[in-house]
Structure 1
Amino acid sequence: MNLTPADSTRSAAPVSLTPARSPSGRSAKKTAPVHTAVPTGSLGGPAAGVASVSNLTIKLTEYLTASELKKVKEAYRFSDEMHLGQVRKSGEPYISHPIAVAEICADWKLDAQAIMAALLHDVMEDQDVKKEELIERFGAPVASLVDGLSKLEKIEFQSQIEVQAENFRKMLLAMARDVRVILIKLADRLHNMRTLDAMVPEKKRRIARETMEVYVPIAHRLGLNAIYRELQDLSFSHLYPLRYRTLAKAVRSARGNRREVVSKVLEAVKGTLDAAGIPFDVYGREKTLHGIYGKMRLKQLSFSQVLDVYGFRVVVDSFANCYVALGTLHALYKPMPGKFKDYIAIPKVNGYQSLHTTLIGPYGTPVEFQIRTQEMHRIAESGVAAHWLYKDEEAGLTELQQRTHAWLQSLLDIQKQTGDSAEFLEHVKVDLFPDSVYVFTPKSKIIALPRGATALDFAYNIHTDIGDHSVAVKINHEQSPLRTELRNGDIVEIITSPEGRPSPTWLAFVRTGKARSAIRHHLRTINLGESIELGKRLLTQALTMLNLSADLPQSLIERLLHESGAKSLDDIHADIGIGKRMAALVARHILGLFENESLTIPLFNESGEIIPSKPEPVVIYGSEGIAIQLAPCCLPIPGDGIIGLLKRDQGLMVHTADCEQAKRQRAKEPDRWIDVVWGEDLNRRFDCHIQLLIHNQRGILARVAAEIGEADANITYVGMGEDNDSVTTHLRFTVQIEDRIHLARLMRNLRRIPGVIRLLRERG
């Protein structure tokens, strides 16, 4: 997936129209740029071809002062001069694109600085205009906005994916500092999508996919529903053109067939609301083609089975009348059970508020209604653009602004805790899913989380320190595991302990980017020494297999660091230790550097091939800390045959050699498995699960527990379940033992107890 926030419809002009370039790459100073027979826009600059600025001028005159209009005019003239001779794929002069972006921003009533940045948003990227020049001409705020919108094409990266991720990170961090960056970027993307027909099919699909996966969720997260719906439909039309055309044709046909139903409903609704004395406006609304397509796919329906293609929006004058209108409509038509949602009492995470209800209309047709006030309608369509905010204006923020500010701040928190751009992008995308679950703190504060979020995600949402020290949770006043998935309406209380620490196993079930980045940050920093030590051992093992010494020349180390993007050899060792880099691939890279640097490569045979060498297995003592873990699925103990899996960001996971889960994983990722063995003189105890089937006899549990104590084993957990016949019972123990010999002695003693029918070591 291409995540570069690029202008999708840019094209180089014919050579004869391209501005002269100086040797440095900056545009040479232009002398009296000539426009031949072109109309002049109201902003005072010439508008080439169809690039008229009259519409923009009309929109800006409505709310900008004369002095602000003058500054916008200067920005337009500079942009027009910089883009002179540049055309789009459609053949239009390139300046038409910045003008169109500025018009969309003007519809949102963004301020003069944002409009200027919209007009200038491509000059740094296309014409090598320096930020310092923009600061001098238009001021630091405008220059910062333009810089946040510009790509990082001049920096050398290791891969195209890294370029895309870093560009996206730059844009989002600029957005976290000033939300106007993303508003301008969304306006830029909207105009590009509207004019995408000029592109070749392959590029259309790439840009449409990027829009659907990144920009559509951002628009939804910021509450920009109008642009969200339009971007969705435009992306759908370019990703699946045949499906789009077929569905559009079906909807056009359905309009005629359902016109009678719609007119009957509209007439009845107006009559009943008039009779109730409620001031109102009612609008018919049609679901977007992408919305219809999504419902058909989700519920496996044909188009004829999607009955609620049409709906109505009722806009009333006050909060209270929303509920009066709801009762009036429910008296008119019967509501469908389970189809009522109150987003006024509990707004969506993006600030959206409305009452949603589906009623059984004429001829048994379901009809959807949305009921809201005029202010709710304005925010529903424009979201944060209706109240775009600055970081230094926290006093008096609306609830929508506070939620948006909190999300933007979380981007900065994730950035601080993230290792690289790709990881940052992974975390942020997780939080862009539109579906949310709403839960309550013990003090009844509402917290919105992505659907599928767990109690641990809730803890990290409150504060990173609470997440890091979480040990238990109460959900609806009952003790529950931290991995419990939350449901709407849950009351969640986190229990913390100063001794609590994040575990690598938490990464397997947390859902939010904030939680994931905080856990990874902790594992990467607190356990850095352990990870470095493990990484050294694994790299030494991999180098041994290639008959290379781990004692590398300094010149080769410097070259390795430069090519890998690491700051030090310890960084590489740490990445290997947490599974972020593969030791075998790093070793191969080092071998290639030996060849490139013309250094002597030891232990080659006469044919020039590397002599295979049996690597020494990694020794496990069980006390290495969090960098080496014993797999919970099989709980290996000393004496078991063991193998090791290097898991990304979780270090080395040790399984028993006969573990079924390990066998399945090894078939999928054979390169991540290494040989491991138990060390000597292990001075700790290991958890082991045992299960007993016993006769229900008085005192038998006490006898079993006493026997475990006599065998010098410690019980850390006991559970029981009664069989259906009430004659036998299953007992499950977690005991701490030294090794297999100790376990065998314990099990031999337990079998001697009268009443014990069956005994086994439990796996998983």
Structure 2
Amino acid sequence: MRLDLDTIVAGLLHGVLKDGITVEELEDHFGQDVSLLVKGATRITDVKFNSELAEHADNVRKMLLAISKDIRVLLLRLADRLQDMCELDRAEPKRQRKIAKETMDIYTPLASRLGIDWLKRELEDLSFKYLYPVEYNELNEKLESSLEERQRYVDEVINILRHKLAEFSIHPIRIFGRPKHLYSIHKKLIAQKIPLERVYDKVAFRIIVETVRECYETVGVIHSTWSPVKERIKDFIARPKANNYQSMHTTVLGPRGHFIEIQIRTEEMDLVAQEGIAAHWAYKEGQRVNQDDMHLFGGLKKLVQSLQKVEDPREFLLSVREELDQPEVYALTPNGEVKELPGKSSPLDFAYAIHSEIGDTCVGAKVNGRMVPLKYELQDGDIVEIVTSPNQTPRRGWLALVKTRKARERIRSWLRREEKKKALGLGREICERELKQNGTTLKKIVKTGHVRLLLKKLHCNSLDDMLVKVGNGTITVQQLEKVLLPPEAQREQEGLGRELELESGGVFKRSGKKKKEEQKDAITIDGADDLLIKISKCCSPVPGDEIIGFITMGRGVSIHRTDCINLRQTDPNRWLDVEWR
């Protein structure tokens, strides 16, 4: 990749920190630049984590932070990962799958972000080999068996192209055909649900010309020779990808009815396409970073900044994967502003890309002048007009439609606020009801300062925090009742907490109901029926003992012996006359 001397030295030293060498020693011997690069390229190994997921997330977070400060860290990590993947056949199958998945999820899209196409393809194919070994081997064998036939086809197409272009005085620097890499063919087989025999563009052709003008002229010659597939014509010269990639792409129905993909670009464009950011490296002494690279660095820094607040390891890694997906759809506003979005993005993603409030109030969209549903998948070149309504609000079902992190986070944020608002209202209602039963109100306990004791007992930061937790069930009504009871009642309730249900006849019904034969020891409570009764364990009354009932908060009546110490500490107004039947 023709990198600078400091990066090459850091690459040779990238594992020394794990062997006991310190950052200070590196700086003394090789300078600050090299020591920082080595540190940024070293995985965390000396910190203990609660889970493998948390460790993985923290290593990715550390790498992204280092990248945002110096892009060379990423190039070192990519080179290191390629070496690891080439030696992965020595590892256990479980580790092979783990490393391959991490490579596919994180490192491959990062290579794509930098526009290093050859590295992206190698990492994808190596990951494919370990993630789907059966499919990899089958596909590889089939393609190897047809290698000679495909080479004859490549030669035929190249000869036709040279002849046709010469007729229009276009003399390409070179034309070549290369087999598409295995993983790209595998993705096509899965996406289109077709057998390998029906994948006609197994070979991609590339034409390198001298000028941008010749790029467009060459496309014209190709389309006059073979019928183009309209939706597969892409102009990345006028509208480069986010990683600065430029080229003309077209797919045509070539010789013998086979679809072929052709890319046309200049020599400089081809260098950038293959080497990406390394094609015009800016760290050599005396060079300056060009505007395209500044845009790319800025994008990576924004990625890091946007992920700083995501604390949950699983959500963090999901956000990284989605953010690293290469933008594949370029849709336009009616004013001609281009929005880059991930493939299969919906009008909701487009709406949130314009402004959060437009996304929140989106009720529909016009694409190329006609109304489409919100589940519509945007295509390259679509002109999108968002229809809004002040009465519209985000819905939970939208989460299944959106592809961008911005849209998803905004929707979730709005839903969380609404759920909190509902929980706050319900919690207030429940607390007012329970406090009323205890002869007070929320307003009174706030005024007297008793609310501070309440919050302390319930481990809440504020009154609203407590109300929300009551409303969403984090604090149960039973917990609330317990802290609201006076001390003597709390002692009685603690006694109740140690009660046992009787194995038989332990739960009784009041008079007025027919009792089963086995409920011969039932208790009668005068003037009421069908009330839940429990025998208190603190004094364990048995038939023949003098007993009395105590009305509990939400747990029916507990039965105590009349000489029970716990009973004597409770409120006599809540006693009931009971007797053994």
Q: Normalising by structure 2, report the TM-score.
A: 0.66
What letter corresponds to residue 319 of structure 1 in structure 2?
V
Aligned twin of 2:263: 370
| Partner residue of 1:262 out of 109, 132, 154 | 154
Question: How far has the Cα of 1:477 moved from its partner?
Answer: 7.2
Question: How far has the Cα of 1:314 moved from its partner?
Answer: 0.7
Aligned twin of 1:119: 12
Aligned twin of 1:168: 60
Aligned twin of 2:189: 296
What letter corresponds to residue 237 of structure 2 in structure 1?
I
> Could you say what secondary structure the match of 2:178 adopts?
strand
Aligned twin of 1:184: 76
Aligned twin of 2:239: 346
1:214 aligned onto 2:82: no
> Could you say what secondary structure the match of 2:324 adopts?
coil
What letter corresponds to residue 259 of structure 2 in structure 1?
P
**Contact 1:430/1:512, CA 8 A, preserved across alignment:** yes
Aligned mates of 2:232, 2:320 — CA distance in 1: 31
1:430 aligned onto 2:322: yes
Aligned mates of 1:415, 1:118 — CA distance in 2: 27
> Could you say what secondary structure the match of 1:284 adopts?
strand
What letter corresponds to residue 133 of structure 2 in structure 1?
P
Question: How far has the Cα of 1:336 moved from its partner?
Answer: 4.5
Range that drifts further, 217-226 or 356-365: 356-365
Aligned mates of 2:463, 2:44 — CA distance in 1: 28
Aligned mates of 2:420, 2:102 — CA distance in 1: 39
Aligned twin of 2:41: 149
What letter corresponds to residue 433 of structure 1 in structure 2?
D
Aligned mates of 1:148, 1:312 — CA distance in 2: 39
Aligned twin of 1:279: 171
Alignment of 1:45-444 (within 5 A): 108-124=1-17, 126-280=18-172, 281-336=174-229, 338-387=231-280, 397-399=290-292, 401-402=294-295, 404-434=296-326, 436-444=328-336
Question: How far has the Cα of 1:282 moved from its partner?
Answer: 0.6
What letter corresponds to residue 77 of structure 2 in structure 1?
K
Question: How far has the Cα of 1:231 moved from its partner?
Answer: 0.8
Aligned mates of 1:184, 1:572 — CA distance in 2: 47
If you compute each CA radius of gyration, which structure gives the higher value, 1 or 2? 2
C-alpha change, 1:578 and 1:300, in structure 2 (3 Å) is farther
Unaligned regions of 5+ residues in structure 1, if any?
Answer: 1-107, 541-549, 558-566, 588-599, 610-764
What letter corresponds to residue 371 of structure 1 in structure 2?
I
What letter corresponds to residue 306 of structure 1 in structure 2?
V
> Could you say what secondary structure the match of 2:152 adopts?
helix
**CA offsets, 1:78-135, max 9 Å, x none?**
xxxxxxxxxxxxxxxxxxxxxxxxxxxxxx22223322332232233x1344444444
Question: How far has the Cα of 1:224 moved from its partner?
Answer: 1.8
C-alpha change, 1:360 and 1:453, in structure 2 (3 Å) is closer
Aligned mates of 2:20, 2:5 — CA distance in 1: 23
What letter corresponds to residue 349 of structure 1 in structure 2?
A
What letter corresponds to residue 271 of structure 2 in structure 1?
R
What letter corresponds to residue 181 of structure 2 in structure 1?
T
**CA offsets, 1:204-263, max 9 Å, x none?**
122112212222222223322111111111111222333323322222221223443332
> Could you say what secondary structure the match of 1:431 adopts?
helix
**Contact 1:531/1:574, CA 8 A, preserved across alignment:** no
What letter corresponds to residue 80 of structure 2 in structure 1?
D
Aligned mates of 1:446, 1:261 — CA distance in 2: 39
Question: How far has the Cα of 1:192 moved from its partner?
Answer: 0.6
Aligned mates of 1:538, 1:151 — CA distance in 2: 52
**CA offsets, 1:12-35, max 9 Å, x none?**
xxxxxxxxxxxxxxxxxxxxxxxx
C-alpha change, 1:437 and 1:277, in structure 2 (3 Å) is same
**CA offsets, 1:143-162, max 9 Å, x none?**
33333333333334332222
> Could you say what secondary structure the match of 1:327 adopts?
helix
Alignment of 1:622-661 (within 5 A): none
Aligned mates of 1:136, 1:575 — CA distance in 2: 56
Aligned length: 463
**Contact 1:414/1:513, CA 8 A, preserved across alignment:** no
C-alpha change, 1:308 and 1:456, in structure 2 (3 Å) is closer
Aligned mates of 2:311, 2:231 — CA distance in 1: 44
**CA offsets, 1:171-226, max 9 Å, x none?**
12322333222221111111111111111222212211221222222222332211
**Contact 1:455/1:482, CA 8 A, preserved across alignment:** yes
Range that drifts further, 319-328 or 474-483: 474-483
Aligned Cα root-mean-square deviation (Å): 4.5
**Contact 1:531/1:577, CA 8 A, preserved across alignment:** no
Question: How far has the Cα of 1:522 moved from its partner?
Answer: 7.0
**Contact 1:456/1:470, CA 8 A, preserved across alignment:** no
**Contact 2:116/2:277, CA 8 A, preserved across alignment:** yes
Q: Normalising by structure 1, report the TM-score.
A: 0.52
Question: How far has the Cα of 1:379 moved from its partner?
Answer: 1.5
**Contact 1:474/1:492, CA 8 A, preserved across alignment:** yes
Aligned mates of 1:511, 1:248 — CA distance in 2: 32
**Contact 2:348/2:359, CA 8 A, preserved across alignment:** no
C-alpha change, 1:360 and 1:502, in structure 2 (3 Å) is closer
C-alpha change, 1:514 and 1:578, in structure 2 (3 Å) is farther
Question: How far has the Cα of 1:137 moved from its partner?
Answer: 4.1
Aligned mates of 1:146, 1:575 — CA distance in 2: 48
Aligned mates of 2:375, 2:471 — CA distance in 1: 22
What letter corresponds to residue 206 of structure 1 in structure 2?
K
> Could you say what secondary structure the match of 1:346 adopts?
coil
**Contact 1:532/1:570, CA 8 A, preserved across alignment:** no
> Could you say what secondary structure the match of 1:279 adopts?
coil
What letter corresponds to residue 195 of structure 2 in structure 1?
S
**Contact 2:307/2:319, CA 8 A, preserved across alignment:** no
Unaligned regions of 5+ residues in structure 2, if any?
Answer: 432-451, 480-492, 503-581
Range that drifts further, 353-362 or 127-136: 127-136
Aligned twin of 1:69: none
Aligned mates of 1:572, 1:134 — CA distance in 2: 50
